Each structure stands twice: as structure tokens, then as C-alpha cells.
Amino acid sequence: MDSSPTTPAAPRSELAARTAQQIILAQLGLAALASPDLPALLDAAVIAVAQGLAVDYAEVLELLPGGDALLLRAGVGWAPGLVGVATVGTGPESPAGYILRARQPVIVTDLPTETRFRGTSLLQEHGIISGLSVLIHSRDRPYGVLSAHTTQRRDFSQDDVSFLQAVANLLALAIEREQAETARRAQEVAEAANAAKNDFLSRMSHELRTPLNVILGFGQILERTGLTPDQQESLQHILRTGQHLLALINEILDLARIEAGRISISPEPVPIGELIRECLDLIRPIAAQARVTLQTDIPPAGDDHVLADYQRLKQVMLNLLANAVKYNHAGGSVFVSCEAGPLRVRILVGDTGAGIAPEQMGRLFTPFERLGAEHHGVEGTGLGLALAKGLVEAMGGQVGARSTVGQGSTFWVELARVAGPVPLLGPAGPAPTIPATASKPARTVLYVEDNLSNLRLIEAILRPYPTIKLLTAMQGALGLQLAQAHQPDLILLDVHLPDMTGAEVLQALRAGAETAAIPVVVISADATAGQIARLLAAGAQIYLTKPLIVREFLGVLERILYAGLP
């Protein structure tokens, strides 16, 4: 046995390391959505790998058309002049060739003593000792290999493999998008581009939301335990960061849906006074912390109604109010007012901030445009106003702004005026929890999910409830076998499985005489409206999106497993 010393990874806590990796993944995913520039994305990806895994070298090897060589397409750490020029063979003696044939991640702990293949001259000349490589898939054939290397011996973990594979998956999605776009231009078929974009949105949503499901899910579980004040403060940092990343992902996906004409809007008469009061209540703590005063002359029970989607209009107003506070100054104020005409209503949000220069006003609603605020320590992404404009226009309205440097800015939303009032349902009460007592009858739940972290999350959530027996399957076919054999009271189903899709599993369940009546709840990071509608129409009772809200999930289980029981 080789007893040579092994150099450990950087001495940082596992939680901090994994959280940093998820942030890097989210940033890379946002970059992939924001720009079609594949070379720039490959360069960003190898930098992200080097940072996320704390390695000396990282590279993308692109499989050339002939299939007998791979080109060093992008890299970090390599000698000058090699990137874009150096090639390696694809024979079984090379690490990259081995990966292309094995089609699974490969970990090398000590390259000089490796028996599966020999190190290439490129690796040997740079003193590579340990490494980790994964395949970058594409639609027709492998695109290439993504690798990370160190010059000291290191034992890479399964978490390191998951991170590198997630980066490769993001690259694969971007590569597929570029390939689909090239095919569309060549064939002048717009339908092919739309299909590729829809698929890209669905899978990108899944890739970005899945890791957040684990972070936020376990965070919510920890929140229900007895933590010390210091631990509770640290946990809140994790949860706030996760929620911030989730908000960014949702904004990006909403923008993409608007551009594709696929945003879901449910117009109804919305009482302006009630909506503004709710938004002000939500923003008030943020304004108090910034020492900004909130004011309005809109009566809470006023008669003015607009035709809009309540939740989408609330999203727009919260964004405008948050900006008015963020770009204000201590001691400043924000004023919300309303101008009602016979056919239209204009809602205005004014602030006493620094104002916007006239030459910058034309760029206000451009995605990712921050007008220089990024240089002054003000957090943001430049997505909020672009999303607000898209949502308001999707509701048949208009949005605009006026500003005076040194005095402040006023943003307005104008929508169609409609008759009212129309009574709205009040907010739902808190989701129930399942009593953790033996008085409840025993129930069996089957969870079909290929991600081990997600399986462990559900196991942790259900651990306090001894009357619920959890069965798990990491493949769709095995899930169908367990469903027939055990007749569970509920099936939790993921959409993306290694051997078959969640839709195919659901179709097989509904077609089987023994499983047709078993309730199915889909749990997926794919939050696209089309996917949700398809699976609900195919027979799923409920579709829950990741990251899970634990109380909501427990409420669903209570309703399905113990409906009608005291």
C-alpha cells in the first residue's frame, strides 16, 4: 500500500466550501443565461473550477471532428501559448481517452503510479500528480472533458465530483444552445430555436435550483432545532444568501420567459390600496434599517382597481420600493401616490436619492445595466427594472421614470382601470405539521429521486414522524417496481431521472392497474410553467418546486396521507 503523504484540500469548513461552490455555480449559470458567447463562458468556467476546487490547473478539452484528438480549448495555469494550440490523443492510454470511453467521472490520486492509463506529456511537463475529470455531454456526441489538477497529491471527494459535474452540465447546456442556434440559422427554422430555448430554460432551472434545495432545505430543518444565538446568526446568513441566489435565478428565468412570450399572467381586478399597504409593510423593516421614511396618500380601503396579476404587480411594486430605499440616503423619504383617470391608473414611487443623469435614462430598463452603481458598493444585478418593465407590459400596462440629479427619481406604473371592489381571498394560514405521535396510522411514502443529497433531505424532514415509512429509488424503473410491490400511500417523484423521465414514470403509474390510484406529488427543480402544466395534466396531484419550503411540504403530506382523519 502506498503510504506517501497526502496533501489535504484547503482547510475550510465543509459547509463554507460547499456554499462557496454553490455561489460560484449560480454566478456561472447567470453568465450562461446572460450571454451566448461560448468562448467567454469556457474561460469563465475554468476559472470557476480553479476557484471552487482550489486547484493549480483546470482545462476544457474539446473533442475535434475527427475524434482522434482533443484541443486544449480553455485553461488556467498552463504554460503560455498552449491554450488553443495544444492537443492530446484520445487513445486508451491517455486519461482523456479513458474518460471518453468510460463515460463517467475519473479521479486520479497519484498519476505516476496510475495503472488505468499513462499521463500525457502535457500533464507530465507540468508536474501533475492528482486530478479529477468529467465528461461534457452534448446532444450528438461528447463535447469533451472538463478537468482539474494539482501538483501535490490530493484525495478528491464525491462533493468535488458533484461540483465539477455541475459545471460541466452548465457548459453542456450552453453548448447545446449554441448548436441549436447554429442549426436554426442554417435551416431557417424558428421552431427549432424555440424548442432549444425551452429545453434550455427547463434544464437550467433544474441545474441551478437543485443545489439550493439542499442548502435551504437543511437550513430550514436546522432552524427548527435548538441552536445557540451564534449558530442561529450563522444559519440566517446561509438562508439569506440562499434566498438571494434563488431570487436571482427566478428573475433570470422570468426574463427569459417574457422574451419567449411564455410568462404566466392571471389578470383580475386588483385593489390598489390593499396591494400598496401590503408592499409597504414588507419594505418597512428594510427602510427602517436604512433610516428612510415611507409615505403614501393612497387609502388602504380605496375604490381604485386595476386589471393586473396580483402577485406579479406586487413583485413589480416591491422592486420599485426596494430600489427607492436602496438608492436613497439616510434621512431620506419614499412617497407612493396614485393618479387615477377615467380609463387608466398611474401608481408612482418617488424617492429623494441622488437622481439619474439625463444621458443614463435611456438605459434604465436594460437587463444587467446598473448605471455605475456597482462601483459604489450598492448591491444588485441590474435585472429588477428590466423584469418590472416586461411584467407590466405583459399585463397590458406601461412603465416609465423621470429624474432630477440631486433631487431624486420617480418611477411609475400605468395599468387599465376596472370596476371594483372584487373580494379577494385572504392569505392562507400556516401549513400544518404532522403530529409526531403513534396515534396516526402507519403510512408508506416512496421517493423516486436520483440525487443523494435530496434523498437525505427528505429523510431528515420525515425523521421526526415514526408513522411514515420512507422507501427510496434512484432510478425510474426501480421506482415502478417498488410501487407495484409495496403499494405506497404516496409517491414523491423527481422529473430528471437517469433511466427515464419523470413524465414516463408517471404515465406508467397511471397505466398500471395496481398503481393508477396512488397519489403522486412531483418534486422538481424544473419550475417552468409548461412542465408543471404537462405533469399536472398527466395525473400528478401536486407539483412542488425546489427549493422546498418545509412547512408547505409537510402540509401537503398531512392533506394527502391523513385526509379526513381527526
Residue 150 belongs to a domain with what CATH number?
Answer: 3.30.450.40
Q: Are residues 349 and 399 in the same domain?
A: yes
Per-residue model confidence as pLDDT tens digits over 102-116: 888 899 999 989 888
- In one letter, which amino acid is 514? E
Strands, E assignment, 163-234: none
**pLDDT at position 427:** 38
Alpha helical stretches, state H, 54-157: 95-102, 121-125
438, part of any domain: no
Locus of grid cell 492528482? 130
Q: Are residues 281 and 141 in the same domain?
A: no
CATH at 274: 3.30.565.10
Q: Are residues 398 and 272 in the same domain?
A: yes
CB atoms within 10 A of CB 267: 18
550, part of any domain: yes
Let me know the angle formed at the C-alpha of 549 by 544 and 553, rounded to the nearest 5 degrees.
60
Q: Which of 122, 157, 102, 142 is nearest to 111 (CA)?
A: 122
Distance CA 95, CA 403 (A): 60
**DSSP-assigned letters across all residues of 464-519:** T-TTEEEEEESSHHHHHHHHHHH--SEEEE-SB-SSSBHHHHHHHHHHSTTTTTS-
Q: Are residues 340 and 293 in the same domain?
A: yes
512, part of any domain: yes
| Contact present, 65 and 248 (Cβ < 8 Å) | no
Q: Are residues 411 and 448 in the same domain?
A: no
277, part of any domain: yes
CATH at 486: 3.40.50.2300
Residue 7 has pLDDT above 50, yes or no: no
pTM strictly above 0.75:
no
**pLDDT at position 223:** 80
Average pLDDT, integer, range 169-184: 81
334, part of any domain: yes
Q: Are residues 296 and 414 in the same domain?
A: yes
Distance CA 418, CA 304 (A): 8
Tell me the range of 65-69, 375-379, 496-500 where mean pLDDT is highest.
65-69
| Contact present, 563 and 556 (Cβ < 8 Å) | no
**DSSP-assigned letters across all residues of 112-140:** GG-SSS---HHHHHTT--EEEEEEE--SS
SS3 string, 250-318, reads: HHHHHHHHHHCCCCCCCCEEEEHHHHHHHHHHHHHHHHHHCCCEEEECCCCCCCCEEEECHHHHHHHHH
Distance CA 168, CA 64 (A): 18
**pLDDT at position 375:** 44
Q: Are residues 552 and 497 in the same domain?
A: yes
Residue 422 has pLDDT above 70, yes or no: no
Q: Are residues 297 and 160 in the same domain?
A: no
The half-sphere exposure of 104 on its side-chain side, counting CA atoms within 13 A, is 2
Percent of the chain scoring above 70 in pLDDT:
84
Would strands 57-63 and 144-150 be described as parallel, antiparallel, or unpaired? antiparallel
What does pLDDT average to over the chain? 82
Distance CA 171, CA 142 (A): 12
430, part of any domain: no
As to burial, measured by CB atoms within 10 angstroms (0-12 exposed, 13-18 middle, 19+ buried), residue 329 is middle
229, part of any domain: no
3-state SS class at 540 = coil
Residue 244's contacts (CB-CB under 8 Å, 6 or more residues apart) are none
| Contact present, 85 and 165 (Cβ < 8 Å) | no
Q: Which of 198, 211, 130 is nearest to 167 (CA)?
A: 211
**pLDDT at position 371:** 63
209, part of any domain: no
CB atoms within 10 A of CB 261: 8
Domain boundaries, position 496 = 443-561
Distance CA 81, CA 122 (A): 13
Q: Are residues 377 and 488 in the same domain?
A: no
Our measurement of the distance from residue 353's CA atom to the centroid of its chain's CA atoms, rounded to an integer in Å, reads 32
Q: Are residues 409 and 461 in the same domain?
A: no
| Contact present, 220 and 550 (Cβ < 8 Å) | yes
Residue 8 has pLDDT above 80, yes or no: no
Per-residue model confidence as pLDDT tens digits over 25-79: 888 888 877 777 888 899 999 999 999 999 999 999 999 988 889 999 999 999 9
Q: Are residues 137 and 22 in the same domain?
A: yes
- Of 309-313, 356-360, 370-374, 431-435, minimum mean pLDDT range: 431-435
pLDDT band at 12 (very low <50, low <70, confident <90, very high): very low
What is the phi-psi region of residue 458: left when phi exceeds 0, alpha when psi lies from -120 to 50, beta otherwise?
Answer: alpha
Number of domains in the chain: 3
Q: Are residues 350 and 412 in the same domain?
A: yes
Per-residue model confidence as pLDDT tens digits over 120-136: 888 888 999 999 999 99
Alpha helical stretches, state H, 56-113: 95-102
Q: Which residues of 443-468 are buried (b: 16+ CB within 10 A; e: fewer)?
A: bbbbbbbebebbbebbeebbeebebb
**pLDDT at position 235:** 83
Percent of the chain scoring above 90 in pLDDT:
27
* End position of a domain, from candidates 161, 188, 215: 188
**13 vs 275, which has greater pLDDT?**
275
**pLDDT at position 45:** 92
- Of 248-262, 286-300, 382-396, 500-514, minimum mean pLDDT range: 248-262
**pLDDT at position 206:** 65
Distance CA 474, CA 480 (A): 11
